[in-house]
């Protein structure tokens, strides 16, 4: 999932004083320079001291800026040698991975969604565990079909924790982004997420909704979202038609957000 070009720093809910954070400013400028081709892939960046002098900042601040870019996979570093440019595009992580709508709009696709059902029922064992609620506690089970440019590409089965159930039930049937609505109207913001990605054959319901044959390959992303206090919001099972979506991760020996598991994890 390649990122569009949305400045991360300006998303830092800091009211109007955008850009007041030095290391974000520096990181954005470097990112722009890299993506603009000023430092092509393989090139060496200026030294930290150079950058510090150029920006009238301390070396620590510069280090935080370049660490941001390193975490994005844009640059690499080795002790003693100057940093090198590894890639020219930036990928985003959290919001794009957590919100189908945000990702789709970011890459310029027309997204539409429809709730096919919203019912309250006791949680399954897995749902209870993922949402950290008692087994059998009430959850809101949602079935949703999502389209990209008119084509059905994803079936979403989500269990919402009871404390956000009313909010989700209040949403319009064709609401494009539940997480956006929760954040805007209810102050419920997803802050942490965990995602499990695997492949599986389409079941009969999947096949009917996506217009495929049973057994067709689907890419499945199961994920749990939690708010800033770590309280689980939703546990979701999203199934994409093969070929419609690719997940992308970059890592280095120093940092990696992604891991691999056997079978059902």
Partner DNA sequence: GGGGTGTACTTGTCTGAACAAGTTGACTCC
Partner DNA sequence: GGAGTCAACTTGTTCAGACAAGTACACCCC
Nearer to DNA, 36 or 261 (CB): 261
> What is the C-alpha separation between 175 and 184, in angstroms, rounded?
13
Minimum distance from CB of 255 to DNA (Å)? 7
Name the binder of 185 from a copy of itself, DNA, none, CB < 5-8 A by kind. none
Name the binder of 197 from DNA, a copy of itself, none, CB < 5-8 A by kind. a copy of itself
Torsions phi, psi of 58, nearest 5?
-80, 165
Minimum distance from CB of 159 to a copy of itself (Å)? 19
Name the binder of 248 from a copy of itself, DNA, none, CB < 5-8 A by kind. a copy of itself
Other beta carbons less than 10 A from residue 14's beta carbon: 13
Contact footprint for DNA (CB under 7 A): 12-14, 17, 20-24, 45, 47-50, 56-61, 63-64, 77-83, 229, 254, 257, 261-265
Torsions phi, psi of 149, nearest 5?
55, 40
Nearer to DNA, 17 or 125 (CB): 17
Name the binder of 83 from a copy of itself, DNA, none, CB < 5-8 A by kind. DNA
Q: In terms of Cα–Cα distance, which of 102, 225, 217, 209 is closest to 156?
A: 209
> Could you tell me the sign of the dihedral formed by the alpha carbons of 56, 61, 65, 70, in that order?
positive
Nearer to a copy of itself, 83 or 144 (CB): 83
Give the three-class secondary structure for 152. strand
Minimum distance from CB of 47 to DNA (Å)? 3
Minimum distance from CB of 61 to DNA (Å)? 3
Q: In terms of Cα–Cα distance, which of 70, 104, 87 is closest to 1?
A: 104
Angstrom CA distances, 203 to 149, 155, 157, 255, stand at 24, 11, 13, 37
């Amino acid at each position: 999932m390649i990122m569009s070009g949305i400045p991360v720093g300006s998303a830092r809910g800091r009211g109007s004083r955008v850009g007041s954070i030095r290391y974000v400013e520096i990181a954005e400028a470097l990112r722009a320079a890299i993506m603009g081709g000023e430092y092509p892939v393989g090139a060496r960046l200026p030294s930290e001291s150079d950058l510090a002098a150029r920006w009238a900042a301390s070396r620590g601040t510069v280090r935080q800026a370049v660490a941001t870019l390193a975490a994005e996979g844009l640059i690499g570093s080795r002790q003693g040698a100057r940093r090198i440019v590894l890639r020219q595009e930036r990928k985003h992580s959290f919001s794009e991975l957590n919100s189908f709508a945000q990702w789709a709009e970011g890459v310029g696709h027309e997204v539409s969604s429809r709730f096919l059902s919203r019912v309250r029922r006791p949680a399954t064992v897995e749902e209870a565990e993922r949402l950290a609620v008692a087994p059998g506690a009430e959850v809101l089970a949602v079935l949703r079909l999502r389209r990209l440019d008119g084509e059905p590409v994803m079936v979403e089965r989500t269990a919402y924790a009871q404390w956000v159930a009313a909010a989700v039930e209040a949403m319009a049937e064709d609401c494009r982004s539940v997480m956006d609505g929760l954040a805007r109207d209810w102050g419920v913001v997803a802050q942490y997420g965990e995602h499990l990605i695997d492949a599986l054959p389409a079941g009969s319901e999947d096949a009917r909704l996506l217009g495929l044959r049973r057994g067709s390959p689907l890419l499945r992303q199961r994920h749990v979202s939690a708010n800033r206090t770590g309280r689980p919001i939703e546990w979701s099972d999203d199934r994409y038609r093969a070929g419609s979506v690719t997940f992308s991760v970059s890592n280095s020996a120093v940092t990696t957000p992604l891991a691999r598991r056997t079978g059902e994890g």
